[in-house]
Structure formats: structure tokens, C-alpha cells
Structure 1
Amino acid sequence: MNYIPNILFAIILIAGVGFFTKNVKKLIRNIKLGHDVDVSDNTSQRWKNMAMIALGQSKMVVRPVSGFLHIIVYLGFIIINIEVVEIILDGLFSGILYDDHRLFMSILPAPLYGFLIGTFEILGLLVFVAVIVFWIRRNIIRIKRFWSSEMTSWPKNDANNILYIEMVLMLLFLLMNATDLRFQAMDNGNVISQYLTPLFSGFSESTIHYIERGAWWLHIIGILGFLNYLYFSKHLHILLAFPNTYFGKVKPKGEFDNLEAVTNEVKMMMDPNVDPFAAQPENTDAPAKFGASDVQDLSWVQLLNAYTCTECGRCTSECPANRTGKKLSPRKIMMDTRDRLEEVGRNIDTNNGVFKEDGKQLLDDYITREELWACTTCNACVEACPVSIDPMSIIMDMRRYLVMEQSAAPLELNNMMANIENNGAPWPYNQMDRLNWKNEN
């Protein structure tokens, strides 16, 4: 009978980790729906980017207030979760391999354990305060980028859900320590929770013990629940920011990727030794489709980008097209890509691992042509993203599809390309007439 709590804990832990593993496998499968791309170049620069951007939060602090608060929450959760290791070990082995919980208290020197608990509690309080400030910024100050048109009910609720979960987890952690102070001497480790102990001064020891055990169970269940909530949340970036910054673009931001098949054809056209009237060999390098009309046409790095999007809106707030009233929102591009990818994933699940044509695609059903052609390709969105997401690459691939597969470029662009082909310049003037302006005095 004494082992029932350990067995129950093991079942909850296995279920939580198992469900998380299932979601991770689904996530990897969906990302692999994209075509392959070579990201083996510039390894040292990629490691540096991951260290500076994902670990060092270098792009977050460009906006000092939100950046500083984010660092507090980020560091707080990482360091506080060291306590989770002790909770897991206690849940599995307390009462079996040792008599009481708080395994590390019996292993570590008392001053060191007290120092760790004190550090955790200070960070827990700072995280709680930072999360409240985030909630105020989002819901009371109502910062504009959090209330754009693409931020519908779920994105807004999701952001608030995360904040509520973080508040509750921090409170449970402090409550657990405050009630356990009656039974454990942690050498001044309860630097914050000691101020909560007067709330329980009139309670019996058994009642306080039940409160402590309840807070302990709710804390670990909450952490496992939060872990599994990540897949459905914008906070998936907690896990994906590291690979995303590693695999992010390392070439100059203004450099576009050229299609090898097109490049070879242009080189052949410019080769004076090639007979333009001779039958040309079949181009085996040409892809099955130029550009992208659906998520399967994008690269796996672009799909990883979509899942990593934090929905913070920094890209959209910096986009000159959006700021001048155009329909384009780089954040919406990423959210639409993720939504379509999730829809394709559910289709595969329903049809026993095979995608069944559903009559939909990313182009037109999610992202409109008006949005695509509003982009100025200035790279402001790419520069602003705190986790190295590249919305512009998706826009350019979808534009490429419109131009090369559907000949559906805007009239102005078609005229420009015709002028380049006929006159060697984007203007409608014959090359022989280019210098006529000199005589117009």
C-alpha cells in the first residue's frame, strides 16, 4: 500500500512523457514533408548563431523592456526546473530507496541546498512579476502588435494561457516550499516562501502536510501538462529556437537563391559556341515544380520556421508594407504556413499515413496573392525576428510559383520583364535611345 503514490507518479510521468514523445514524432514527420536543403555549410557560424541568438537572447534585447523581462522568465524557468529533477526522483523512489522526500537535501551540504532553494525562490518571484508585466502589456496597455487582425481568438487565448500557467506554476512552487518549511529546515533557503507561512499559522500539521502534498502533485502535473501543451502553442519555440537558429540563413540577407536549372539555361543562352537553333538536350536538373504553392513545396527549414514562430509580431511591426496599410503581415505568413501544415498532418493521420488530396493549398486558401506582391523584399522581418525565422523566403518561393508556373505576375512586373528581355533595361526605351535625354535641353 505504501508504494501506491510511487506507482501513481510513475504512471503520470510515463503518460506525460509518452504523449509528449508522440507529439514530437508527429512534429518531426510534418517538418520532413518539406523538400531537402543543404545546411552543412558555415558550421562554426551556425553554432555561433545558436549560442548568441537562442541561448544568449541577443536579438530579444533590441527592445530592452520586453527583452529584459523575457531573459528573466527564460533563465528562471531553466534554473528552477533543476528542482524538477528532485521532484521526479522523489516521486519515483521516496519511501522505497529513502524515507523522506527532498533527496538532494540529504545528499548536498545544507548551506548549498539552502542556497539553491533560495535562488530558485528569488527567480520564481521574478518570473511571477515578469509574467504579470507581460499580461498587463498584452491585455491592459494592449500593445498594437498583439492585437493585429491575424491575432484571432486562439492566438490571443494561447498567449494568455501560457501566462496563467506560468503564474500558477510559480505560486505552487512557493506554496510547496512555504508549507514544507514546517517539516524541513532548509538553512534559510525559504527567502521568499517564509513570508507565506503566516497564512497557515492556524492550520494543523496534518492539514499543512496535505496542502504541501497537493501543491507538490499539482506542480509536477502542471509541468507535464505544460510540456504537452507546447505542441499546440506558440511556445513551441522553447524547444525549436535552438535548431531553428542553427539552421537559419547564414548567407547575406539580400542574397536570393537561384534555381540551378534556370542558371544553367541562362549560361547556355549566353554561350557563343552554342547553336541556338539546335535541338537542346532535356534538362534533367529542372524541378517538378518551380516555386511553392503548398507546404510540401517548401523546404524543411521553412517548415521548421513555421513551427518556431513565437507570434510576437516584431516582424510585422517592422514591415514597411504593413506599416503603410498593405495587407501583408509576415507573422500571418508564418501562422498560415503552420496552420496549413497542421491540416496536412491531420489529413495524413486520418488516411493511414498517406496524404489524400483535399482540394486546398497554401496559396489562395491561406495566403492571398495580394499579400505576396505587397512584399518589398527589404528583409526587415528577417532582421527583426528574435529566433531567425525567414518569412521572406516563403513569400519569394510562392512568387516564383506564380511567375514561372502560372505566368501570373502583376501587369507592372510583366511589363518590366518584357522591357528587360527586349531592351536590356526595365524601361520601355530602345537601347539606341537611352542617351537621348542629353539632347533634351
Structure 2
Amino acid sequence: MQYLPNILFAIALIAGISFFVMNIRKLYRNINLGKKIDRTDNKQERWKNMIKIALGQSKMVKRPISGFLHIVVYVGFIIINIEVLEIIIDGLFGTHRIFLGFLGDAFYGFLIGTFEILAFLVFVAVIIFWTRRNVANIKRFLSSEMKGWPKADGNMILYFEMVLMTLFIVMNATDTSFQQAGIGNPISQFVAPLFDGFTAETLHLIERASWWIHILGILVFLNYLYYSKHLHILLAFPNTFFANLNPKGQFTNLESVTNEVKLMMDPDADPYAAPAEGAEDEVPEKFGASDVLDLNKVQLLNAYTCTECGRCTSSCPANLTGKKLSPRKIMMDTRDRLEEVGRNIDANGGAFKEDGKQLLNDYITPEELWACTSCNACVEECPVNIDPLSIIMDMRRYLVMEESAAPQELNSMMTNIENNGAPWPYNQQDRLNWANEE
């Protein structure tokens, strides 16, 4: 019975980490369902972006209030969880505050004191976040795609963080020897008087209960990430690394289409000549994208990384003028469809079984796609370099090249270009007639 707590702790730790690894493998599998794309160029710039944007939160602070609060929660939560290492060692070996003996009173007190101050700041920041989401009626949190689970998920994470921070402070406040030492307790010393009059046994029981719930809560939080928008805690780093480094507004071209256009423009070209050695002239099986399996791996990574913060939608000119498009919804829909495909694969022994559904029409409507002005405001605003526009353009490409389903205005323009070499309905020979008018 002496080692029962240690055994139970080891079982909980192994179970929590194993479930987390299983979900990460599923996540990796789902992202790799996408088409291959080479984003390994210019590694120095990519590392710089990751450090500056994902680690340094440089794009978050463009909106100072939410940016500052996010940095407090981000830094506080990460640094406080350094203490988890001590909890794991204590839990496995039955020790208590094992780092105190190694680090000494002064340094250990400085660390724990810093953790307590950060825990308090995180708690305050989380309350402000909750108020902004639920009381302040900020428009970007009231969109239709934020009803139901997305709203509940955002609040759930805030509750998690409030409870974990509270447990950390209570754990320290009820640790009698720690309070008597008077080191590292700048916040818990003010909470400790709430427990005056409790017996030593009761205080020990509260301290142990807080300790257990705190570490079990962290393991639950770790595994909740896969089902939550807070997966960006992990994915923001690879997402910023593999982000598109090309200038915004530079769209991708299909090699086969480009070669076909060049062939049409060259009067001396032989249409029956074999392609040059090493040339990529293979016609894709589908032009554009109608489902998640047509998108590339980085686009699927983008979908899982989306924080649902709504900065993209709040800066989208189409959305601001009342059109149906919401770049945030584009990413959420892509992630939801990818999860559906993943469950399909799991249910069918590792192979996707056609389910009669696709991303286009079942999740994202053509109306949303054609509302986009391709201005890149959503890409510029995203704090973790997500690119909703690339998905919109690939789905538009499918509508035009596979379904011939472009809007009438666009069809007219393309017909004019084909017939007249310009988007206007005038014969090439008549273009200079205006110069002859008196």
C-alpha cells in the first residue's frame, strides 16, 4: 500500500501520454492525406518566421489589448508548466518538492514565486478573455460559425486554465512547511489565511487533492487539445515554418496549363512533340479542389492550426459588406471535413470509403467562394500565417475548370479574352477607333 499512489500516478501518466501520442499520430496521418508540396526552400527565413511569429507572438500584438493578454497567458502557462517536471518526479518516486534540495532555498523560492505571480496574471487575463467572449459582445465572437461547440470550446479552455491556476495556488497555500519557510509564496501567502483553523491533517488532504487534480487536469488538458482549437499551441510552430514565402498576391499556376498556353502562343511549336527530358507536363487528375484530399499538406495543416480568433473575418472586406464569406469559417469547415474523412478511414480499416460528400457544397458554398476579392487581408491578419485564400482559389479553380460554373460576369470576361485578346467585348481591329474621334 505504501507505493500505491506512485503506481496509480505512473498508470495515469502512461495512459495520458499514450492517448496523446495516439491522437498526434492520427493528426499526422490526416495532414498527410494532402497533396505533396515543397516548402523546404529558404530555411533561414523559415526559422526566422517561426521564432518571430510563433514564439515571439509578433503578429498578435498588432491588436494591443488581446495581444498583450495572450502573451501573458502564453508565457505564464508555458513557464508555470516547467513545474510539472517536479510534479512528475515527485509522483513517480514519492518525494516532495524534490527540486528544493537541488536548487536551494533562494533559487527555488525565486522560481516558485515567479510561477505564482504568473499564475495570478494568467487567472486575471483569462477572466478578461471570458468577459470579452461572453459579455462584451465583440462582433467577431458573435458570427454564426461561433455558435454551439466553437463557443463552448473557447470557454472550456478558459475554465481549464482558471481551475489549473487556482489549484496551483491552493496547493502552495496549504503546504504548511512551504508556507512556514516563507520562500516563493508572494501570492499563496495571501490565500493561506483562508485555511486558518484547519487541522494539519485537513490541510495535508487539501494539498494532496489539489496536487492530484492539478496534474490529472494537465493530462486531461493535453489530450483535450486534439479536439480543440487550442491545437494551435503545438501547430503554430510548424505552420509558420512551412508558410508561403512568396509575395502576397502571387498565385500558383498549374504547370500543365502554363505549358498549354505557351504552346498555343508559339506558332512554330509542334503540338505532337514529346516533352523535354525532366519536364513536368503531367495533366492532373483534377483541376483545383473540391474536397480536402485535393488540397495540399500545408493547407490541411493550416486548417488544424486555426485559432478561430476571427481576425481574418473581422478584416475581410467581403464579410464587412454583409456577404456570406468568412475566412475563419473556410478554415473551420476544412478542418471539420478533414476530421470526417479521418473518421471514415478509421471506420473502414485504413481506407477512405466514398461517402457522397465533399468540402464543396456540403461545407463551403460557391457563394462564399465567389464573394472573395482575393485581397489577402485574411492572410495578412492571421497571427499564425494561415492562408485561407489559397483554399478559396483552389476551389474556385475547380468550379471554373471542372464544372464550368463561374459567374456569368467572369464567363463573359473569359470569352472576350479568348475571342478578342482583352476582357472587353470589342474586336481587336476596333481598339484604336477612339483615337480617330474628333
> The TM-score by the shorter chain falls in which range?
over 0.9
Q: Matched residue of 2:431: which SS?
A: helix
Q: Give the TM-score taking structure 1 as reference length.
A: 0.96
Q: Distance in 2 between matches of 1:294 and 1:439?
A: 53
Q: Distance in 2 between matches of 1:227 and 1:71?
A: 20
1:268 corresponds to which of 263, 268, 292: 263
Cross-structure match for 1:86 = 86
Residue type of the partner of 1:399?
A: R
Aligned 8 A contact 1:19 1:228 in 2: yes
RMSD: 1.3
Q: Matched residue of 2:83: which SS?
A: helix
Q: Distance in 2 between matches of 1:75 and 1:368?
A: 39
Number of residue pairs matched?
A: 434
Residue-by-residue CA offset, 1:41-91 (whole Å, 9 max, x unaligned)? 111111011011000000000000000000000000111011000000100
Offset at residue 434 of structure 1 (A)? 1.7
Offset at residue 184 of structure 1 (A)? 5.8
Is 1:115 the counterpart of 2:117? The answer is no
Q: Distance in 2 between matches of 1:357 and 1:152?
A: 29
Cross-structure match for 1:200 = 195
- Which aligned pairs between 1:10-409 and structure 2 lie closer than 5 A? 10-94=10-94, 100-182=95-177, 185-275=180-270, 279=272, 284-409=281-406
Aligned 8 A contact 1:113 1:186 in 2: no
Residue type of the partner of 2:269?
A: V
Offset at residue 182 of structure 1 (A)? 4.1
Residue-by-residue CA offset, 1:393-414 (whole Å, 9 max, x unaligned)? 0000001111111111111101
Unpaired runs of 5+ residues, structure 1, are 95-99
Offset at residue 185 of structure 1 (A)? 4.7
Residue type of the partner of 1:403?
A: V
Q: Matched residue of 1:109: which SS?
A: helix
Q: Distance in 2 between matches of 1:381 and 1:122?
A: 36
Q: Distance in 2 between matches of 1:169 and 1:279?
A: 69
Aligned 8 A contact 2:173 2:179 in 1: no
Offset at residue 181 of structure 1 (A)? 3.6
4+ residue segments displaced more than 3 Å:
181-187, 278-284, 438-441
Unpaired runs of 5+ residues, structure 2, are none
Aligned 8 A contact 2:259 2:281 in 1: no
Residue type of the partner of 2:67?
A: G
Cross-structure match for 1:97 = none
Aligned 8 A contact 1:336 1:362 in 2: yes
Residue type of the partner of 2:422?
A: A
Aligned 8 A contact 1:381 1:391 in 2: yes
Q: Distance in 2 between matches of 1:113 and 1:185?
A: 15
Aligned 8 A contact 1:54 1:241 in 2: yes
Q: Distance in 2 between matches of 1:293 and 1:136?
A: 39
Aligned 8 A contact 1:114 1:186 in 2: no
Aligned 8 A contact 2:172 2:185 in 1: yes
Q: Distance in 1 between matches of 2:202 and 2:374?
A: 63
Offset at residue 269 of structure 1 (A)? 1.7
Cross-structure match for 1:6 = 6
Aligned 8 A contact 2:179 2:185 in 1: no
Q: Matched residue of 1:306: which SS?
A: helix
Aligned 8 A contact 1:322 1:329 in 2: yes
Cross-structure match for 1:438 = 435
Q: Distance in 1 between matches of 2:295 and 2:361?
A: 16
Aligned 8 A contact 2:255 2:281 in 1: no
Residue type of the partner of 2:140?
A: R
Q: Distance in 2 between matches of 1:352 and 1:373?
A: 37
Residue type of the partner of 2:305?
A: T
Q: Distance in 2 between matches of 1:177 and 1:187?
A: 11
Offset at residue 440 of structure 1 (A)? 4.4
Residue type of the partner of 2:322?
A: G
Q: Give the TM-score taking structure 2 as reference length.
A: 0.97
Q: Distance in 1 between matches of 2:54 and 2:405?
A: 39
Q: Distance in 1 between matches of 2:267 and 2:281?
A: 22
Q: Distance in 1 between matches of 2:175 and 2:427?
A: 86
Aligned 8 A contact 2:61 2:68 in 1: yes
Offset at residue 271 of structure 1 (A)? 2.1
Offset at residue 368 of structure 1 (A)? 0.2
Offset at residue 438 of structure 1 (A)? 3.3
Q: Matched residue of 2:308: which SS?
A: coil
Cross-structure match for 2:414 = 417
Offset at residue 279 of structure 1 (A)? 4.5
Q: Matched residue of 1:150: which SS?
A: helix
Offset at residue 439 of structure 1 (A)? 4.2
